[in-house]
Amino acid sequence: MTTRITLFTGVVAVLLCSLTTAVLMFALNRFVTKSLIEEITAAGGRVAAQMEQGNLEYPLAGLQSRKIQVVDGQGRVVASTPQLRGKPRMATFPPEGTMAATSVVCHGVFPRGECDVVVAQRAQRAGEKWIVYSASPMIPPLVDPRVATVAGGSVMLLAVAITYLGRRVVIASLRPVVAIRAELDEINAASLDRRVPVSDSDDEIHDLASSVNRTLTRLETAMERQRQFTADASHELRTPVAGLRAQLEEAQLHPGDTDLGDLLAHSLADLDRLQAIITDLLLLARLEGGAPKPDERVDLATVVRAEVSRRMDPRKVRLLLAPEVSVDVVHGQIDRLITNLLDNAERHARQTVVVEVRPNGDSAELIVDDDGEGIAEADRERIFERFTRLDAARSRDRGGTGLGLAIARGIAQAHHGTIEVTASSVGGARFVLRLPLATSSNNGREQARISS
């Protein structure tokens, strides 16, 4: 990149310097040409004035440095400077009234290949209108070879200086990027706990380094979570597989002492456990890969009531449901979320589970209370991690795959919602789910509660 930028800078510098020099040389040529015209006009004007006053001496011996001709009213050359003596008139165009006329003449009395600026001026002689022509060779485009040489050399020196400074600036600007790349190489070879250097300047390089560090932080977190998840998943899958293998090996060693029905029942239970874990792992993977866009608007109270009705003992659940609290959801996922919260509450409740649906500002709230032993404040975030084990009564030894609450939070986040746990007013744990209200619904401004 440094070489490409330096080459680009050099080419642009040469072009800009050359263009600037060309403009300056053009302006200089115009200025010198204008001065030349004024000078030969003045010389011709002096001849015309002397002629009108009768003071002009013939031939025009005192004007050897200029090319001047005097033409009478019949178009004859009556006087000229020595270099034009005996030659025809240098031009045929007349002055513009009383004003001098200027033209460029490249033929006639002038040497081959030479073009002269000719100025024609009117003069009065014995009542006749005579013309005084004055001329001088045109100024070359580059004015003077020495000026052109100096200008060309200056262009090259300036272009080299700009290119050199541009390269220095590019190297200095990219030095933080080089440091970031070197640090990334070290990180790739070592570990993800290191970070790239962040410059003190408030520029794009600073923003790049900050973005890289944030990405590294997320990557480190994701890899650590993946390592932990792999270890936990291996452990969880190993237990039912080991149990199933032990039972089958026992049956193989002692086929006569094996109760086939009992063996099949235990084997199917272990397979059900494996299937439940695998299903939950696949659901979590889909949620982390990007949840589908909510495609259905539902009344949250209706969904809760339908789920509770499918419980084995729905009388254990007390409902406080505000109507018309509508949310946009993926129906199958929101059903799974509510099922997981109810399963968790029923698993740990002593006698009662209370489910409440209500609007709260721009959110719909689903609150699930149980009267169990509750959750210590230090563990209230840990329980949403996969395969979390608690020392308290809320251990997975009492059922479940250990993924239910992780799935619940994943579904809530996929719907732009949140889920948290606090202490319940009935003595156990309170899980609070918040989802964005559907904008066009009434959203339950009337909080009529139905108890069952």
Tokens representing residue 22 in the block: 């060309």
Residue 62 has pLDDT above 80, yes or no: no
* pLDDT value at residue 418: 94
- Over residues 308-317, the mean pLDDT reads 80
Instruction: Report how far residue 292's alpha carbon sits from residue 244's, in angstroms, rounded to the nearest whole number.
Output: 36
User: Which burial class, exposed, middle or buried, applies to 302 when counting CB atoms under 10 A from its CB (0-12, 13-18, 19+)?
Assistant: middle
**Is residue 135 within 8 Å of residue 80, measured between CB atoms?**
no
Banded pLDDT at 448 (limits 50, 70, 90)? very low
Query: For all residues of the chain together, what is the average pLDDT?
Result: 80
- Over residues 115-121, the mean pLDDT reads 91
Banded pLDDT at 177 (limits 50, 70, 90)? confident
Instruction: Report how far residue 328's alpha carbon sits from residue 331's, in angstroms, rounded to the nearest whole number.
Output: 9
**Is residue 403 within 8 Å of residue 344, measured between CB atoms?**
no
Q: What single letter denotes the amino acid at residue 364?
A: A
User: Which burial class, exposed, middle or buried, applies to 451 when counting CB atoms under 10 A from its CB (0-12, 13-18, 19+)?
Assistant: exposed
- SS3 helix, strand, coil % of the chain, rounded to 5? 50, 20, 30
* pLDDT value at residue 197: 75
* pLDDT value at residue 403: 82
- Over residues 386-407, the mean pLDDT reads 64
- Over residues 195-224, the mean pLDDT reads 74
Residue 254 has pLDDT above 90, yes or no: no
- Over residues 294-301, the mean pLDDT reads 88
- To 5 degrees, how large is the angle CA 201–CA 202–CA 208? 95
Instruction: Report how far residue 141's alpha carbon sits from residue 22's, in angstroms, rounded to the nearest whole number.
Output: 10
- Condensed to tens digits (0 to 9), the pLDDT of residues 158-175 reads 888 888 888 888 777 777
Q: Which of 78-82, 324-328, 385-389, 390-394 has the highest mean pLDDT?
A: 324-328
Query: Is residue 60 left, alpha or beta, with left meaning phi > 0 and alpha meaning psi from -120 to 50?
Result: beta
* pLDDT value at residue 22: 83
- Over residues 182-191, the mean pLDDT reads 68
Instruction: Report how far residue 343's alpha carbon sits from residue 79's, in angstroms, rounded to the nearest whole number.
Output: 125
* pLDDT value at residue 446: 39
* pLDDT value at residue 60: 66
**Is residue 355 within 8 Å of residue 318, measured between CB atoms?**
yes
**103-107, 195-199, 364-368 — which is least confidently predicted?**
195-199
Q: How many alpha carbons lie under 13 Å from residue 135 in its C-beta half-sphere?
A: 28
* pLDDT value at residue 451: 39
User: Which burial class, exposed, middle or buried, applies to 227 when counting CB atoms under 10 A from its CB (0-12, 13-18, 19+)?
Assistant: exposed
Instruction: Report how far residue 3's alpha carbon sits from residue 13's, in angstroms, rounded to the nearest whole number.
Output: 15
Percent of the chain topping pLDDT 70: 85
Query: Is pTM, for the whole model, over 0.85?
Result: no
Q: Tokens 């949140």 sit at which residue?
A: 418
* pLDDT value at residue 143: 72
443 or 287: which carries more pLDDT confidence?
287
Q: What single letter denotes the amino acid at residue 81?
A: T
User: Which burial class, exposed, middle or buried, applies to 369 when counting CB atoms under 10 A from its CB (0-12, 13-18, 19+)?
Assistant: buried
Instruction: Report how far residue 106's alpha carbon sits from residue 41's, in angstroms, rounded to the nearest whole number.
Output: 19
- Over residues 83-106, the mean pLDDT reads 87
- Condensed to tens digits (0 to 9), the pLDDT of residues 324-354 reads 899 999 888 899 999 999 999 988 888 889 9
Tokens representing residue 3 in the block: 């070489």
* pLDDT value at residue 364: 94
Residue 442 has pLDDT above 80, yes or no: no
